[in-house]
Structure 1
Amino acid sequence: MVMKVLFAGTPEVALPSLELLAGDREHFEVVSVLTRPDAPSGRGRRLMPSPVKEAALRLGLPVLESDPSDPSFPDVVKATGARYAAVVAYGRILRQPVLDALEGGWYNLHFSLLPQWRGAAPVQRSIWSGDTVTGATVFRLTKGMDEGPILSQSTVEIGPDENAGQLLDRLAQDGSRLLAASLEAVGEGRARLVPQSPGAYEVARKITGEDAHIRFDVPAFAADRQIRACTPEPGAWCLLHAEGGRDDTGLVLHVLRARPLPADDRAAPRDLPAGRLARTKRQVWVGTKSNPLELLEVKPAGKKAMKAADWARGARLADDAWCG
């Protein structure tokens, strides 16, 4: 049986699932693609289509950009001819009349092991909290946020140096196959929906630009987790005081890669105050509450990303330069 599916998604992370479903014509017919409307982007604030819209047009699929809060939206959904919906990072709340519009239901791919990390930023929060294992979950959408019954899950280990973008890319690929297999099971009547375990679970709040302001008054491992969780979006940053003074506002310095140094690292400076920079020709460190954090790659304001050592050589840093 070929399943008539409405696909709902917006960012690049949804593309593996869309492309897999659209390419598997033996099992699926993607009858329409629901995505968010074109949004201003870049310095010129030009209206740009979402990555999902671009992919849908490339694949020759009809695109819907209707407002799901509009009272007529359930009828729009029914008119697509879909019986099921696959959702990956669509980014809009769907009311109960919309969920009821498709007889077969709406099935969401979420990038955590639910019920842990419900919410907008599960991958980032998982890294920031120090989790070593995470995964993907396919569940049926209900009116509660990420609270619907679970069809399937897969797990992955989080690499010790992995950032949120890298982990999300892996989960998007693994999750696309999990979503397709789950939909097949639903269509064939083999799916078993398991209610989520009750309890109090941490919510994965969206990470803001201010959240990404790096703290160095914490142990090095905590600063490293914050940097990896905020990379590539919204981008971990600090204020650089290159001349050592604490009266100026500082210049924004993005930190793209860093690593906490072990206590027995002989090359690192000892007793480096939190936020204070130290450097040699080949290495740059910043003090934390524990051991120094080695900066590996940075992006100064208005410049390209570069090795931290290359940046430091041209930055004319004072001996008491610091980041805060």
Structure 2
Amino acid sequence: MTRNPNEVSKQFWIAFVLDVAVGILCIFHQGAIAYRYNLQPLVIHHSQEMCMHNSQQLPEDFKAFEQQILQAENQIAKATTELFRLEFILDRICHEIQDSLGFDFVNISLVIPASNTIEAVHGIGIGKNWVNRARHYLEDDPELRDIQADIVKECHTEIIAGHNERFDSWIFETFDHHNLVRIFTPIILMRDESGKTLEDWFEQYDWQENFVPNHIGTEKQHTIITMKPIPGYAPPKVIGSVEAGYENCDTKITHQQAIALAKLVAQRSLDIRKARLRYVLETVAENARHILRADFTTNTVANLRGFNTCRNGMNTS
């Protein structure tokens, strides 16, 4: 049986992440064990009292350090597990959009940073037809962009009936998109000024006031909807796009539908982020930083205790 090259590649990268994560944790765990059995700090003078003091105090520091490693293992294992659920998560989002908003089809495309592209990865209805077929570079020049790349670069929502010059001509003709009306909206992550990802910003955002439509003067429906920035927040990070619509181009996609779609996609963007390889690597790196800080603090405290004990022993001898 022929295997899908994309599936093989995905499995390779998942295995690679697991190896990296386990390797990092093994290094830190071995460091913790080495710390446990090399408790004596670098001191000039040893006394029986100092050794007893160290044997009583240092294991407590080690236990706290070891606990951090165990917590890191659990967080990385949980994050890695999500990699296997990406297909399920995308399918659930597609059906949720279709069921709640009544669209005939839905397609999800994701940004692939390594290749600087956006690629169709999952769809339902006719939206599944261009999965693994639609792949476009995120061009800086607007004249060279496909519609999906334009949505990512401009971070706006767009409703288009029929043809548009930014559509992939091969996909448009091959799958007969002449009679479609579609809405494209970015999958975004919102962050504060420190870079921390916010989880519930879409609940406080005034969509009616800040999601502004601009109707383009053409015979068929064409609307560009811009999103006003939120004061105090960093610019949105776009990780993909959602395309949904009807097979009859005379069907209207309303502004209320656009708001509902953008809000739902914003809500589900965190699930998508957590199922991506990049998030797992970020989790590994963040836990490694925490462990390094803990290791530095623990050894510093241990050495200070040893130094003070040594000094006290010298003063009483």
Global fold match (TM > 0.5): no
TM-score (norm 1): 0.26
Greater radius of gyration (CA): 2
Higher RCO (CA < 8 A, seq sep 6+): 2
More helix by proportion, 1 or 2? 2
More strand by proportion, 1 or 2? 1
TM-score (norm 2): 0.26
